Structure 1
Amino acid sequence: MKKYLATVSVTALISVAPFAMAASSTDLTVTGTITPSACLPTLSGNGVVDYGKISAKDLNQDTNTKLEDRTVTLSVKCDATTKFALKGIDNRIGSSDLKSMFGLGKINGTQNIGRFLVSMMSAVADGVAAQPIKSKDGQTGWHGHLFWMPGDYASVAARDDFSQPISVQDLTLELALQTYIYRADGLDLTNEVKIDGSATLEMKYL
């Protein structure tokens, strides 16, 4: 009985379809906002954190090796007070075993070298202490957080309200980096290996 009813229903729909009224047009809407101000992000040391040469013998064989913590300063200067966010993009995606950290590249295209964590510290917006915040889509769900993970949109908020970014003209933010090399017994270290971490901070106007 159930099979019969299903067949009848399909037949009825097919027979009615030619008589249905179809829309003769549809709309395509293109939206956006052109902002009169622009912002320029820069990193101290041209954004390069160089650990120099590390002997393979100094790496831990069966645990990750933590390198010396480093800090770089992120500065954003805008033509006028502007509400913005920066998206963290991992240019070595797939080479970190944790989604919360950025990768350091691969050996022979197969062995992950390591990862690094970025923490947002000491934010100062137009001379006033501010709170680092982040969002997954750059629009909703803003909340106070120190860890800047790949794909996160980062901005700053007032210290008494973490729910939304504030407009800023001059921002400085310390980025603390914690870098780890994976256990040496899982890496091919017969030749020199280049630590090749790379991330892009992409500006988005809100």
Structure 2
Amino acid sequence: MNSVLKKGMLLSVLALSVNAATAAESVDIKVTGKILPSSCTPSFPSGGGIADFGTMKVASLNSTSMTPLTDMKEVPISISCEEDTRIAVKFTDARDASSPTESVEFNSFSGAKQFAFGLGTYNGKNIGAYALGIPRTQGANTNDAGDALYPMMSLDGGNSWGVRGMDHLQIASDNREIYAFGTELNGGTLSPQTKINFKVAVEATINPTNDLSITDEVTLDGLTNVELVYL
């Protein structure tokens, strides 16, 4: 093939390409981006989120019945938001496999099984249970201005709110509820907040030691995940 013919073929291909490129009569401009909600961050201002019931002797525990521990521990939690935000929290039992299947006994909280969280296992047997509650007393929970906040619970994802209990709003262990804070003791409207400081009270009970057959050290192993829910 001679060089003249090669050049002629090349020019023909280029011409076809130009014609195809000019066939489109319109182009699209896309406008995109994202709007993110105000970000909130939970933290433990002190104590590291640990409710420590200390060391106890086997002899101090009931051998044939549950032993409700008399101490009530409190774990402070703080939620900080970039701006006023409608925020709630959900509590999930990370040791649910060891939670009781029947009612148990606590010192002051309800021992109904839907409120009992698992304390882990020892030699394949449940060690006991613990209960959680948010104080309803004035000043126990506050916002960034120091105003009193009161806990509320919702069974329908935040569409409606209610309260229960006297000194504490006890937390369900079956993940059926979320919890938020308002400015009225008896519930009502969820208040958007920039900061929420609240406490979680903890009570524990130990299963009969005869059932546990304790021969060495037993560590209470309760673990609850606290998750933010944006509303």
- Report the TM-score when normalising by structure 2: 0.69
Q: Hey, what's the Cα distance between the residues in 2 that align with 1:34 and 1:154?
A: 26
Count matched residues.
173
Contact 2:51 2:202 in 1 (8 A): no
Identity of aligned residues (%): 31
User: Is residue 2:163 matched to residue 1:149?
Assistant: no
CA-based RMSD of the aligned residues comes to 1.9
Which SS does the other structure have where 1:94 is aligned? helix
Question: What is the correspondence of 1:59-70 to structure 2 with a 5 Å cutoff?
Answer: 59-67=61-69, 68-70=71-73
Q: Which moved more, 1:132-141 or 1:73-82?
A: 132-141
Any stretches of 5+ residues in structure 1 without a counterpart? 1-32
Tell me, yes or no, if structure 1 residue 39 matches structure 2 residue 53: no
2:50 is aligned, of 48, 51, 57, to: 48
| 2:121 pairs with one of 77, 92, 106 | 106
Q: Does 1:85 align with 2:88?
A: yes
SS at match of 1:46: helix
CA deviations on 1:74-101 (whole Å, 9 max, x unpaired) are: 1111111100111100000032222212
1:137 to 1:188, Cα distance in 2 relative to 1, 3 A: farther
Q: Distance in 2 between the 1:71 and 1:50 partners?
A: 10
Give the superposition deviation at 1:54: 1.8
Residue 188 of structure 2 corresponds to residue 185 of structure 1 = no
Q: CA deviation at 1:128?
A: 1.3
Within the alignment, does 1:204 sit opposite 2:223 as a pair?
no
Q: Which runs of 5+ in 2 are unaligned?
A: 1-33, 101-112
Q: Indicate yes or no: 2:132 matched with 1:130.
A: no
Quickly say closer, same or farther: Cα 1:64–1:38, change in 2 above 3 A.
Answer: same
How far apart, CA to CA, are the structure 1 residues paired with 2:193 and 2:214?
46
Structure 1 outlier segments of 4+, above 3 Å: 33-36
> Residue 18 of structure 1 corresponds to which residue in structure 2?
none
Q: Which of the two has greater strand per residue?
A: 1
SS at match of 1:99: helix
Structure 1 counterpart of 2:129, which letter?
A: R
The answer as to whether partners of 2:52 and 2:73 remain within 8 angstroms in 1 is no
Cα separation, 1, equivalents of 2:185 and 2:77: 23
Query: In 1, distance between residues paired with 2:186 and 2:63?
Result: 46
| Paired residues of 1:100 and 1:149 also in contact (CA < 8 A) | yes
- Tell me if 1:175 matches 2:177: no
The answer (yes or no) to whether the contact 1:82–1:169 under 8 Å persists in 2 is: yes
With over 3 angstroms needed to count, the CA separation of the structure-2 counterparts of 1:53 and 1:165, relative to structure 1, is same
